[in-house]
Amino acid sequence: MSELKHPIREAERYLQNARQILSEKAEKEGDYYNDKKYVKMAGHTAWCGVLLALDAALGIKTGLKRRQRPEFKDYQEAISKIDNKMNRPLLNSYETLHKVLGYDGNLNYNIVQSGLKEAQYMIDWANKHYQNK
């Protein structure tokens, strides 16, 4: 079995993959991307990176022993115990990356970039709290 990777570095890799998908596949023209499929893929990838970082920072267990992923409210509750001000960025990340990009595939460049910026903010926050464990 291979060695486990550092979860925050892995989350950063997910976010980098999302950026790469957008730059190589989504075909930006002006203020919009042309291909909804790749915007959806990038949004989902970035959101998975945020969840990976939060799982590590908050000590949330997922995987084979836990067959079901925690619900969004579980993340809200866990974050509230550490830093209640982070619930707004968490909600923004969820709505932008998971819903607006991941499901809807919104093609607006500024919205996509805002979501990626929010993802980076959440991963940075998770990194700070993961290192303090």
27-82 residue pLDDT tens: 999 999 999 999 999 999 999 999 999 999 998 876 555 557 789 999 999 999 99
**CA-based nearest residue to 125, from 31, 8, 4:** 8
**Res 4 pLDDT > 90:** no
**Res 133 pLDDT > 90:** no
Q: What SS3 class is residue 61?
A: coil
The CA distance from 104 to 42, in Å, is 12
pLDDT band at 2 (very low <50, low <70, confident <90, very high): very low
**Res 132 pLDDT > 90:** no
For the residues 76-95, what does the mean pLDDT come to? 96
Going by their DSSP bridges, the two strands 28-29 and 32-33 should be labelled as antiparallel
96-115 residue pLDDT tens: 999 999 999 999 999 999 99
Q: Is 7-62+69-131 assigned to CATH 1.20.90.10? A: no
